[in-house]
Chains A and B, each alone.
Chain A
């Protein structure tokens, strides 16, 4: 699955550092826009189209975040890129399974309602754990 022979390159190349910078920028922007849109929504008691527009404002930063991560992936060496890809696949599978499994528990076993908001938290958490696990499994 992962290449058996790998000649390690310095992990923090200029491109990777640049990518960290971009990712951090968009993460901060995303959080700031989310906070700002909640504040504006509450202050204006927004409803209808305005509320939808305000809720979608943070999406601008999320597009930037995905794009920055994509550019960052291209800066990584082949081995690290494959680790990231596999972690992504694991995170997607965990999120898909967890959402279906919890959906059943909610419907049949009377578990408390969980908002779809948690999907992103599960995805990010599973991705982080998968990156750590794969790096431990395939040390440089």
Chain B
């Protein structure tokens, strides 16, 4: 069976996912830009910044919805591969961040200033790589 890599292309569900993902990403950057502007222009209190930070949750919710809908539209094999890749991602990122913190604690690696920002891009990258490995195994 030919296994298509992420994202599955040229299908109605893939197009819908692309649309929904772009809306979510647009909203995220829109909120972020607006938040940064408000923060720069006005002297916000902590709760104001917290409100802006949590407003970006809309992005997470929209992406979650888009992904759930996409996965529901996949066939059983494709869905299983995606979720196996996700499980590997959770393991790598979860235990990897634990190991990094451990090394940070004993002073072997430098303490990154805003290390939490790295988690999302690393998750996306690991998911992609993990999916390629899972797809190869199922071929």
Contacts and interface: CB of A to CB of B under 8 A. Distances in A.
Interface of A: 1, 34, 37-38, 41, 46-48, 51-52, 55-56, 58-59, 62-63, 65-66, 69-70, 73, 85-86, 88-97, 99-111, 114-117, 119-120, 123-124, 127
A90 B89 CA distance: 13
A126 to B, nearest CB: 10
A66 B56 contact: no
Contacts of B35: 104
Contacts of B116: 99-100, 102-103, 106, 114, 116, 119
B52 A99 contact: no
Interface of B is mostly: helix
B30 interface: no
Interface of B: 35, 39, 46, 49-50, 52-54, 56-57, 59-60, 63-64, 67-68, 71-72, 79, 83-84, 86-91, 93-95, 97-104, 106-108, 114-120, 123
A106 B116 CA distance: 9
A114 B104 CA distance: 12
A33 to B, nearest CB: 11
8 contacts: A52-B108, A55-B102, A85-B71, A88-B87, A92-B86, A101-B56, A115-B115, A117-B98
